[in-house]
Amino acid sequence: MSQDRAALDVYRSHHASLVDYARVITGNESRAEDVVQDAWLRFRNACNAAAVREPLHYLYRIVRNLAVDDNRRAAQEASRCSGDIEVITHTVASEAPSPEDVAIARSELDVVRKALGELPERTRIAVEMHRFGGHTLAEIAGALGISVGLAHTLVADGIKHCHHRRNRSK
């Protein structure tokens, strides 16, 4: 078996545990995946350049070193960005919406109010309870004396109607 094939077999058979190991160090699944991918490239190049006595041990060491380096780089970027954020927050005018944004939101709210008014009473109540009251489907079903499935259907139909009306008004 070629060295390239042997290296690939070691990598494939331990990929999941390497990602878990890197995740513990980086604290992030996506960064852990990137670290393991980079480790594979370095591991493959090292195996092609010379015979590696303990390939699995060597691969884990590469993952650890890259994960630690990744943490250092992330910490440096975070400290650099925190200074940038302070500058940005002092230069941004306000978090309040612009008059144009307020007018658009009011117009959309009027469309949604009208759309809710067009719904059958039970559907309107179900949508209002769910969207504005934060009630669960089970709570809506209990209040209206219907099944949870029917409560779901009423809410979904009502929301679909409101979206349809809102999209038509644009």
- Tell me the CATH number at 107: 1.10.10.10
The residue-averaged pLDDT of 47-70 equals 89
Last residue of a domain, one of 91, 110, 141: 91
Residue environment code for 88-126, b if the CB has 16+ CB neighbours within 10 A, otherwise e: eeeeeeeeeeeeeeeeeeeeeeebbeebbeebeebbbbb
Q: Looking at the structure, do residues 81 and 124 belong to the same domain, yes or no? A: no
DSSP for residue 95: S
- The confidence band for 133, taking pLDDT boundaries of 50, 70 and 90, is confident
Q: Looking at the structure, do residues 31 and 8 belong to the same domain, yes or no? A: yes
The residue-averaged pLDDT of 48-72 equals 89
Helix (H) or strand (E) holding 128: none
Q: Which residue segment(s) compose the domain that 130 sits in?
A: 99-168
Give the Cα separation of 115 and 36 in Å (integer): 52
Q: Looking at the structure, do residues 24 and 71 belong to the same domain, yes or no? A: yes
Q: Looking at the structure, do residues 83 and 103 belong to the same domain, yes or no? A: no
Last residue of a domain, one of 59, 91, 123: 91
The pLDDT value recorded for residue 48 is 80
Give the Cα separation of 123 and 146 in Å (integer): 12
Q: Looking at the structure, do residues 149 and 108 belong to the same domain, yes or no? A: yes
The pLDDT value recorded for residue 94 is 63
Q: Between vectors from CA 77 to CA 75 and to CA 78, what angle results, nearest 5°? A: 65
The pLDDT value recorded for residue 53 is 84
pLDDT above 70 (res 99): yes
Contact of 35 with 26, CB cutoff 8 Å: yes
Residue with tokens 């195996």: 47
Number of domains in the chain: 2
The residue-averaged pLDDT of 163-169 equals 84
Last residue of a domain, one of 91, 124, 145: 91
- The confidence band for 142, taking pLDDT boundaries of 50, 70 and 90, is very high
Q: Looking at the structure, do residues 8 and 85 belong to the same domain, yes or no? A: yes
Residue 76: CB atoms within 10 A of its CB come to 10
Give the global pTM.
0.47
Q: Looking at the structure, do residues 13 and 75 belong to the same domain, yes or no? A: yes
pLDDT above 60 (res 4): yes
DSSP for residue 145: T
Q: Looking at the structure, do residues 30 and 59 belong to the same domain, yes or no? A: yes
Cβ contacts of 44 within 8 Å, gap of 6 or more: 4, 7, 8, 11
pLDDT above 70 (res 93): no
